[in-house]
Structure formats: structure tokens, C-alpha cells
Structure 1
């Protein structure tokens, strides 16, 4: 028997899952409209951590991947996150599953996907054991990826040498960054938790807030307004683009800028920044070139696996950009561990109480103070008696 399309169900005897299909080749786009109980249909080779965490937040009934969620290229964390969250993951279903019509009710039984009684595709139902085995194999192939990374880094350095070394091609902007601290927000690893820990830092130091694509939405959701929005504009909302922030559209080196038409249609002022790297790299290079004193990064990539999650093409720019900005760059997690705002509310309360206690002791040591304390005590007794009469109903 089929169940409500908005509720995830698993029959105890067959492991059957039923739900409406939500289909998109771009996992990032799919999560914007995915609802609890839906069946997510994606085509995502090497499912990365950020995408998996976004899927888990949507609570789908199952995730169907046309591609292998782990190719063995590197130990990506996405499949493990989904399986650990109890979300069924079926891999390597092939192109046929992407032809499913949006909203069609699908049945997922082990590794088979049905539309009604018709078999759509068959794949591999992942388990904790199969994911662990794939991860172990992928770790053995890291040396090959490191060699590819080294070659790609040299290629990127040749193409973007002028930008990395001399800042050639960085556009002029109106927002003043020179001598100021800058907070760059990317919708990446633990960006929400990091923003919460940085509230005191933001309130006290008032850094320039730069949102990278959807990072601008994250800043607004946290209660602030971004000063700059940088990116190809594929995952930022219209509300953020129209919030009054200065817009920097990231373009390819050949001049193509996929997000330019959208920005022009909204009629918001903007500048274009042609560069080969990722949008988060562009934001860091912009902040560094314009004289930022300190660059605090939220949700950006820092570890080897995180670099690999970006793919080989994006990994080199991310690595070299961090070499370029050097000692200015601080990861948000480091700030949250090291930073303590100057005085906390608890400390302030204790300070006030200590002052009142000292004042009371000083008054009690003088005759006039003792008289005043006695008068205050009598007045307090009157207030207590009056309140007691109200509660007890006495005239």
C-alpha cells in the first residue's frame, strides 16, 4: 500500500520506499525545492560533503544517483553522510533514471526503482559496509590525485600568473576594504555553526561582509546585510541581489559570464571580474588586492579532501589563492577558538553585583548608612505586607 507522498516510509519486510520524484542534475539546485518525503534523483559523480549535508537537511525518502557516488578517485564523504543519516542511497542507476518525470511517484526496493509496476532502473543500494569499503579503496588512489593536482597547479599558475602575482584584472569597487577586516561567507562546511560562533566578533569589529553566491543568503538569514556579493550568481536569491550590496559578477577568462544576464535583468549595479578560479578564490583575491587587513573565511575549503571535493580543476586555484593571501587568511574555526570578546554579559553582571555589594558594606560601616539601611528595610517590610494583603484578600 502506498503512503502519503510527503512522508518517508520504509516497509519492514521489503525495505520499500515510496515518494514523489524531484529530478535535477545539479544537486545544489535540487535542494532548493526538495521537501521531506521526496525522492531525490541526481546525477552527481563523487557526491561531496556539502551536497550530502544539504540533502540530509531536506530529509528525502531516498537519494537516487545516476552516477557512482564514489568513483574511487578520492575518499569523498558524501555517501557516508547520507547512509549515517539513515537515508537510502542507490548508486549508478544510469541515465534512464534522469528521464523520470518530475512529481511521479516512485517505489524504491533495494536497488531497483519502479514507476508503478514498470522497472525504471537498477543500481547498487549502498550500506555502511559498502561505503566503508569504497572509501578504503579510494584512499589508496590519493597518490594519483596528488600527481594530477601538481600538474594542474602549474597549468593554473601559467594562466593566472599576472592575477596571482600582480593583481592584474581585479576590477575597481566602491566598497572600501583597505585597512579593514573582511569576513567571506561561502555556503560550505559548517557555515551556519561558524556564523553563530562569530556573532560577537562581527558585532564588535564590524568587518566587511562578503557573500559568495549563496553565502549572501546565509549572511541575511543570520541577521546582517552583505556589503559585497561575489560569484556567478547561480545560487543566490533575488532578495540578496537587491539588498543594496555591491555586486561582483565572476566571469570566465574568455569573457562569458553566465550570471550577468540575471543581474542586468534585476537592474542592480555591478562589475565583472574575469578569472579562472572558483568564486570563493575570486572573493579572496579581491579582498587582498584592495588592502584588507585580515580575511576571515567561513565555509571555505582548507583540507586536502575539501580541495578534492572541488574537483581537480578548482583545486589548483583554491590552493594557490591561499598561498597568495598568505598570513591574512584565518579560518572561521580558528577565530571561534581564539577570539574572546572583551567582556561577556556574565562578567558584566558579576561586576555590577560586586559593586553593589561593596556599596552595601560601605554604608553599613557608618551611622548614617545604618539608619538608611534601617529605613529601607522598614519600607521593604511595608511592601511585603501590602503584597501579602493583596494575595490573601485582606482589606
Structure 2
């Protein structure tokens, strides 16, 4: 029996993308809960590349942002990554979405409108490849403003942390000896998996001290390395990494804030504290330099101007000054993997050595009283084997 037209229309699937809502005002916290097929609801002004790559890797089917994903302050890289991956991105839906949607709700995104069933609950601006490219181009014109702000931040950073930056004063004593050794600092950032894979021969030969910066400790465990030191505010590192036996150093700002420090107390783990402005990865580099590291290899850290701006604009001054301070000691992981090649054993000299040894052995055997008889027996067996092979083939 055919259904009436009205009932058939009601039973037809509604248009758009359907998924479970996962939401958090901090993208870093949300990433831990995402599953393939989810719709991520975030509040992330100027979505950065690392967060966007993590959203793609989590398998979300759409991203709804309460804030502008690209505001025009600088050419951030996150929106283009989502768009190129084919993940719909809707911007500026407003903070009200966090009050109207609960974690795990089944929601539907159709165009720029977010629905729960047939009820619209938020609406925003759909980002396309064209709109992202246009906004990025316009943002490049604002780089001069960002560089002026960077100059001001640099002077402020020097005023507050000059003793730490110039003389290494303020770092705790370490149980791990860094003097004269190579140090590998891992940040869960740009292409960290590829860099760690490329560095395997280098790590195997030089055995560097392994420092994981927050989630970089989990990146080391993922690559089957145990970190020697974990440094950071401890908000994005797993309990398993914290319990791995690494030396723990909590990085706090001048106000003493470290989001993950309470976790260490709950886990019963002891840690030392370093108070410094700037980013944790910069503090790790300054620590390695102050403790006498011969070479510092960095994994997952920003390199280009756009990457510096994209990651932590407020910490850009410390990043720049840290690289000035560390100087020639600092090498990016990509440079190491391109320049360093483990020595390969030469095959032909080994073959010639084996052949020469066999010839010498045969000559020595032939010179003994029973050696000639033994060689004749071996020769007979060899000839019988060749005859048998010929019979089988023919």
C-alpha cells in the first residue's frame, strides 16, 4: 500500500549532515572526546593549523564555531585545512549554542543552520575555499600590525624574564644529565609523527635526552620512546605519560597558573617548578641550553613566520628571543633527517672477505695429510648433487 504524500514527505530523511554534538569552549579539551562522525562545536577565534589537523584526524563530519575561524588579524592556517579536507565549517554562530546544545545530542547541519531534529538552534556563516582564500589574502595586509605588537611583546618579555633568558637563572637542578649531550625536544605540533619517524636512525645512534613538552610526551610514547623529562603546564599530557618515570617539571606563568598541576597531586607524583613567561617549548629549549646541551633538535615546533603567528601570538616574542639565545645549538628535526644518514655497511668488501676466507680454508685443508681425501669426498658429493639437479630439470 502506498503512503499518502504527506506521510511519505514526513518519513523522508532530513537534508544535511547528522552527528553527535561534542562541544567545549577549549578546543584542546574537546579533542580528547571526539569520535569519528561527531559534529564539533567550538569557540576558537582564528583557528590554528594544529587544532584543525587534530579535528581532521579525529574524523569529525562538521565544525561549528561560535567565533570567527579567521578574523583577519593575521593569516591563520586552520580554516583552509578543514575546507581542503572537505569538512563543512560554519562560523560565528554565537556563544548561545553552548546553552542550547548538550553533549551527545543528535544534531543536523544544513547549510549554515544547526538543527536539533527540525528545530533550528543556531545559524552562522558557511566558509568555502573561496571565502577562506579571500579572508587569508586580506589578513596578510595586517601583518605589519602584528609585527608592531610583536616588538612591544619582545620588550615586555625581556623586562620580565631577562635573568632566565640571559643567564639561565631560575631553572631547577635536574637528575638527568644534559651536559655535552644531544637533546630532542618534542612538541605535538607540525608533522611531529613524520619527523619522529625520520629521526629513528639518529635517535638509535646518538641516544639523545628526550624531552616531551606536554602532549609531546605522549607523542614519544606513541613512537615507542620513553621521555626522560616532561615539561609543561601538564594540561594535555596523559596519566600514562606522567607515570612513565620521566622527570617532571611544571611550567607556570608569573601568576603561578598551571592548569594541570593539580593532577600531579592527585596522582601522587612529585614535580619541580619553573616560573617563566612564554611558551613551554621555549622554556624547554632554554633549559637544555642552560644545562649544557651540545645540540638541541626540535620536533613539531613552528618554523616560518606564518607558523609563528598561527600558534601562539602572545608567545611569539619568547619564541623569537629563545632562538636568538640558543643560536646554532638549535636544529629543526627536518634538517637533521635530511642531512644525517646512518652509515651503510658495504656489501662487496664483506663478500670478498668471505670468499678469501673460504679460499684460505680450502688451501689449509688441502695441505693437511687427510685434507686431499676430504676435498675429494666433498667434490664427489657436489658432483652428485649437480647430476641430480640436471636429472630433475630434464
Q: TM-score, normalised by structure 2?
A: 0.88
Alignment of 1:53 onto 2:53: yes
Alignment of 1:147 onto 2:180: no
- In structure 1, distance between residues paired with 2:38 and 2:383: 63
Alignment of 1:378 onto 2:362: no
- Once the two structures are superposed, the pairs formed by residues 14-93 of structure 1 within 5 Å of their partners are 16-93=16-93
Match of 1:271 in 2: 272
Match of 1:308 in 2: 309
Question: 5+ residue gaps in structure 1?
Answer: 1-12, 390-395
Question: 5+ residue gaps in structure 2?
Answer: 1-12
Match of 2:126 in 1: 125
Deviates more, 1:219-228 or 1:362-371: 362-371
Deviation at 1:134? 0.9
Deviation string 1:58-80 (CA, Å, 9 cap, x unpaired) is: 11110111111101111111111
- In structure 2, distance between residues paired with 1:342 and 1:284: 29
Larger radius of gyration: 2
What is the aligned residue count? 373
Q: Is the 8 A contact 1:152 1:312 kept in 2?
A: no
Deviation at 1:259? 2.4
- In structure 2, distance between residues paired with 1:250 and 1:101: 34
- Once the two structures are superposed, the pairs formed by residues 204-219 of structure 1 within 5 Å of their partners are 204-219=205-220
Deviation at 1:360? 6.3
Deviation at 1:341? 1.2
Deviation at 1:253? 1.4
Q: Is the 8 A contact 1:232 1:258 kept in 2?
A: yes
SS at structure 2 position matched to 1:276: coil
Deviates more, 1:184-193 or 1:369-378: 369-378
Deviates more, 1:167-176 or 1:219-228: 167-176
Match of 1:259 in 2: 260
SS at structure 2 position matched to 1:281: helix
Q: Is the 8 A contact 1:15 1:110 kept in 2?
A: no
Match of 2:7 in 1: none
Deviates more, 1:164-173 or 1:45-54: 164-173
Change (3 A) 1:376 1:28: farther
Change (3 A) 1:364 1:162: same
Q: Is the 8 A contact 1:14 1:109 kept in 2?
A: no
- In structure 2, distance between residues paired with 1:110 and 1:380: 81
Match of 1:190 in 2: 191
Alignment of 1:241 onto 2:236: no
